[in-house]
Every structure is written in C-alpha cells, then in structure tokens.
Amino acid sequence: MRPRIAIDAMGGDVGPRVMVAGAALARHRHEGFQFLFVGDETQIRDALKDHPNLAAASEVLHAEDVVSADAKPSQALRGSKKTSMGLAVNAVKAGDVSAAVSAGNTGALMAISKLALRTMPGIDRPALAALLPTLKDTDVVMLDLGANAECDSRNLVQFSVMGAAYSKIMHGFEKPSVKLLNIGTEDAKGTGTIQDAAEALRSAKGLSLDFRGFTEADKISTGEVDVIVTDGFSGNVALKALEGTARFVTDLLKRSFRSSLRSKFGFLISRPATEMLRGHLDPNNHNGAVFLGLNGVVVKSHGSADEKGVANAVEVAARLVEDSILERISEEISKIGQSTPAAAAAK
Amino acid sequence: MRPRIAIDAMGGDVGPRVMVAGAALARHRHEGFQFLFVGDETQIRDALKDHPNLAAASEVLHAEDVVSADAKPSQALRGSKKTSMGLAVNAVKAGDVSAAVSAGNTGALMAISKLALRTMPGIDRPALAALLPTLKDTDVVMLDLGANAECDSRNLVQFSVMGAAYSKIMHGFEKPSVKLLNIGTEDAKGTGTIQDAAEALRSAKGLSLDFRGFTEADKISTGEVDVIVTDGFSGNVALKALEGTARFVTDLLKRSFRSSLRSKFGFLISRPATEMLRGHLDPNNHNGAVFLGLNGVVVKSHGSADEKGVANAVEVAARLVEDSILERISEEISKIGQSTPAAAAAK
C-alpha cells in the first residue's frame, strides 16, 4: 500500500518550509510516498516550488487557522475544523490519508486525535511512545510519555502490547523484550498497580512479546530491553530527566573545555568526537513520538526538528502504515481477551 | 552542641577501613566531632590504628552481624538487635549519639530507622532527600527519592516543609524556593494529588519557604529552584534517570574520543577538562541522602563512596544536628496547623 500522509505544515517552531523540505527528503528516499499538505496554501505552494518531484506527488488543503504552541487542549478542540492540525487529523479519520504528521502542540494533537480517531477496540487509553537512544545499536521504545498522568494495571498491560508491536515494526524483533519501569527490580517492589500489571503480563499466553519483569530508570539508556512501559507521569519525568541531564553534561563539558587554554586546544582537536556525541543525542536523528492505540496513525515530530527530523517522522508514519500497526495491536489485544488472568487485568 | 555520631562501620561496598578514614577526614576538618563506631570490633580497632586523633575521640560498639546488601527490609528488621546498622540507629533512639551514618542497604536503613525513631509529630511519613548537582553554585534538594512509592497531598506538603528546612541549613537561604515536580508548568497540569498540594502550599501563611508552583524534570539540574518535591516513585525515577544519563553521556564521549587518532590526542590534551566534569558528577563530592521526618538524624552515605564521600555524609549529619533540623521542621509544621487551607491538606 502506497502511504499517503497528511502533513500539518504549520505546526512547530519551524514553519512550512522545513515541513515541506522534510517531506521532500523522505520522498527522495521512498518514491511511493504521497502527501497532503495542510495549512496556508500560499506558503505551502511557495515552499513546494523548490521541490518539483515532491510537488508532483502532493496535494494542498488550505487551513485558515493554526493551533498555537500554548493553546490548551480544550481550545484546540473547539477550533479543530479550521486549523491545519485539526484538518490533517480529520483527513486520517475520513480515510483520505493513511497517517498524519504534526510538529505542533503535543497536548492539542493528542486531544484532537483522540476525539477524531477514538481509541481502538480493546484499548482503554492511547499512549505516547518514542524511540530513545541507547548504548546499543537499537533504540528503546518507551511509553507512556505523558498522555495519561494516572494509569491502572489494564492500561499498563495494553501499553506493553502496543509498545511491543511498535518495536517489532521498527526493529523487526519477533518477540521484543518488555519491562515495566519500577523503583527496584525485586518482584515485590512498586505499587499495587505495577504488581497487578506484572502478574497479568507474566501469565498472559501467546503474546508476541517477552515480559521480563521490572527495570529502573538508570537502565533506560543501556539498551538492556526493547520496550519500557510506565504511566504517563513517570514516563514524562524520565524522558525530561534524560533530556535535561544530557544538556547538563554537555554544558558542563563546554564549560570545562573553556576553563584553560590547554583544554580549549584539546576541544578543537577533539571536535569530531564531540560532534559525534551531539549527533547521537540530537532528537533530529530519532523520530518523533507516536500516538498508539487510536484508530489511525498520528506521529508527533519534534517541535524544533530540522528537515532530517521531519523526514524521520514521516518515515516512521509510513512504516507504521505499511506494516499495519493497527491490525497487529488488535490481534495481540484479542489474545489477552482469551487468556484468563491477563484478561482480568486488561479486559 | 558537640555532635557525637554513630557510624555503621560495616555497611556499603567499602568496609570499616573507608568508613573510619572518612570519619577521620571529617574530624580533621571539625575538631569537636565524636564518634561511636558500630560493627566488628577487631576490624574497627585495626582501622583506627592508622588514625590516632580519631581513636581518641571514638568509642567502639561491637555488633556480631551485618545487614546484607540484598536483605529485604523485613529481614533487616528482624535481626536489627544484632546488626551494626540496627545498633547504630538504636544508639540515636537511646540518645547515646545525636545522629547515625550508614553506607548500607537503603531500604533496610529506612525500615530500621522508621521503626526505631518513629515519625515526628505532624509528619505522616518520612522522606529520603538528597542534594543533586546543578549548573549553579548550589545543589538542589530533591525529595522523596524512594521512601514512599505512593504519596497523598498531605505528604507532599510535609515534604516541602522538610526539604526547605534542609536547604536552609545546608545553604543558609532564608526562604528557599520550592517547586512540585509535574509534567507541565501550567496551573491545571498533573494529578489531583499535585493540584491539592499546590493549592495548600499557595495558601499557607508564614512558612519559611517560597512556593513557586511546578517544575519539570529537565529543570532539575539547571538550579532554577532550591527544593524540588515529588512522590517517591517519580523521585526515584528522576534520580536514576539522571544517574543513568550522566553515565550514558560520558560513555558515549569516551567512545567517540576513541574513534580516531586525532580525537585520542584531543582527549589527552583536554583531560583536565573531562576530569573537572567527572569531579562535578562524582557522588563522592556530594553528600549521601538524608531521611527527613524522623525523631532523629540518619544519613545514608553512597554505597560505593570513598573516604571523601563518607566525610561529606558525616559533615551533613553533624550540620543537621548542630542546626537543629528536627526543631525547625516541628516549628514549620505547626504553622501549617494554624493556616486553614493548608491544614486541610496537611493535617
């Protein structure tokens, strides 16, 4: 199936020019991609002039309004018939495109997507998932990163299934390993919610995942597991702690390199090394975040992503469509319905 | 008041020799300190031979048993009359010493301390607090780091008061600024528990702290606030994410420095800079964690701390005793009792 992807051209800090350039890059690498750009028609057509190949594979849908970066989800919902974000997501709902990509306000995108697409049968709540860099060759899938501040054990079991399906598609693992984030790895650690979810996952039969118990937040970046599942509060805290610390350490490093002439010289010489570090941590080299559990594929590109970042997000969206993420999740969730103890927690 | 401090000589990965050397270092810097070393008498006396000044200011209490690193809290409690950790904490209870320092198993130390010392009047649950490095000159106090996996709004309000008292003593701030950890900084963000705690702190009168709303985990290391308060689950996740990411980034850096001859050369030249970075992140340059809210001062030194780390933990314990942390917390908690809306949440 040829993916046709709606691009919210107006979201993010970057504007239509970068969104269009990113789509052009993705299209350059995957000839079959088709696009529907949603936003200010004049600006989009203008940006498309630089990319004739892309223009030939694209349509434009004019939207007169934009969801602002600080709009509350409720405001964004009210205006969604006129905004580029609202129209892009509604194009997924109408079956006009197979996925939507936006670099706009995450809370607004979640609210609009939830209302337009609804959660899949068997899923209580959608989750926000992302691929995070590790010391190994493959990124780790982590969810929920903030869609649900409070979760019950059913949610955590469903997130495990959704995260495993995502990992399987992105990395080709037959049975991705899954752990629940906890504050210790012993069986008795953590809240009742986590205990119940672990019990359900341990006793579930026939799932395409390998449940391995608990992990702690200092193991996220080691790559010891393929999928890490947690509630949206802890997930958001962990994600932001990762981002903040990476920035903290690189700032400290810059500062110490500036502290003596000798260090400055060393810094210049070792620049390629620090550039490599930066490249590994750069969000543009990873995709955006994905909303899982909805009747449709919606990808959130990083707000400050450059064209490489946008192209990555577009490619993730296409991959999820081509590899039928919705059907995979459905199928797995129906297995939970059949196995008794997990069913108690997840149905 | 001359602090006399019980040292669990057997806890941690390091053994009596490092605990004694750490105490000697602290004593070298503060002449008045007195010590009670608890553990294997032969090993302790042997270690004391290298430090005659310290030996003159120390007593030894023999303990026949040790709490193992992987002991469950319940096991540790059962044996606490015979272990070095149990006897050290019980010396605080008996009034024989003014504080206890241990590098042993955190869960066991918490359980033993809670049972022996009990929570202070007006405090529902004790919390684990630590000073974390920031880009500014002063460390940030963060709590709870894992003592309570689930917290209500009363707990969060009490933790705010305890954390502010700790920050005041360590840094001398008159009214330390306090923020609650959340998944967004807008007023309406987060769980009902966090909302209620914020409301109580906003309307509390006369507290020696400046409540400034919410912060996110990417701001922990920026030093934008003096005290960050959260439940023990999120706090533990944030702390471990910080530790893991710092290690991740330094590992990546090492790897990229190894990737070319030029980088290797640059690395050698800039070594003083990377050593400075390591020094800033080294847990030995920060104190251990402190249990706040108990009728007594108990400090957890890092399990792998060297003598500098142990000396820091000893100095923190002494400082908390000399500056009457218990009385300060008591006084502040009684103010919450008087101001109505905070009282609703915290009483």
Name which of A58-62, A284-288, B12-16 the model is least confident about. A284-288
Burial pattern A136-158, b for ≥16 Cβ within 10 A else e, equals eebbbbbbbbbbbbebbbbbbbb
Angle between helices A307-322 and A153-171 (to 10 degrees): 100
Q: Which helix (H) or strand (E) holds A77?
A: helix A73-78
The pLDDT value given to residue B86: 97
The pLDDT value given to residue B341: 47
Restricting to B residues 242-281, those with a Cβ less than 8 Å away from any Cβ of A are 242-253, 256-257, 259-260, 262-263, 265-274, 276-277, 280-281
Q: What is the pLDDT of residues A96-142, one digit of tens each?
A: 999 999 999 888 999 999 999 999 999 999 999 999 988 888 899 99
Q: How far is A211 from chain B (nearest CA, A)?
A: 20
Q: Which of A149, A184, A251 sits opposite B190 (nearest CB)?
A: A149
Q: How many CA atoms lie within 13 A of B255 on its CB side?
A: 12
Q: How far is B262 from chain A (nearest CA, A)?
A: 6
Instruction: Please say if the pLDDT value at position B116 is more than 50.
Output: yes
- Strand, helix or coil for residue B119: strand
Domains along chain A? 4-117 (3.40.718.10), 127-283+329-346 (3.40.718.10)
ipTM of this complex prediction, to 2 decimal places:
0.86
CA distance A165 to A187: 25
Q: How far is A221 from chain B (nearest CA, A)?
A: 6
Q: What is the pLDDT of residues B196-239, one digit of tens each?
A: 999 999 999 899 999 999 999 999 999 999 999 999 999 999 99
Name which of A214-228, A284-298, B19-33 the model is least confident about. A284-298
Give CA separation, A124 vs A342, B220, B235, B330, in Å.
15, 33, 27, 45
CA A138 to chain centroid: 15
Please answer whether residues B116 and B108 qualify as being in contact, where contact means their C-beta atoms are separated by less than 8 angstroms: no
Q: Is A173 on the interface with B (CB under 8 A)?
A: no
**In chain B, whose CA is at the least distance from the CA of A237?**
B217
Determine what percent of chain B is predicted with pLDDT higher than 70.
92
**In chain A, whose CA is at the least distance from the CA of B234?**
A234
Q: Which of B222, B244, B263 sits opposite A273 (nearest CB)?
A: B263
Nearest alpha carbon to residue A248 among B150, B135, B44: B135
Instruction: Please say if the pLDDT value at position B151 is more than 80.
Output: yes
Restricting to B residues 201-240, those with a Cβ less than 8 Å away from any Cβ of A are 216-222, 230, 232-234, 236-240
Task: Give B335: exposed, middle or buried? Use CB within 10 Å, 0-12, 13-18, 19+.
Answer: middle
- Reported as a pLDDT band with limits 50, 70 and 90, residue B11 is confident
Give the torsion through C-alpha atoms of B71, B75, B81, B84, to 10 deg.
Answer: 0
Strand order in the sheet with B177-181: B58-62, B34-39, B4-8, B99-102, B297-300, B289-292, B127-132, B140-143, B227-229, B177-181, B210-215
Please answer whether residues B49 and B124 qualify as being in contact, where contact means their C-beta atoms are separated by less than 8 angstroms: no
- Reported as a pLDDT band with limits 50, 70 and 90, residue B347 is very low
Instruction: Please say if the pLDDT value at position A340 is more than 50.
Output: no
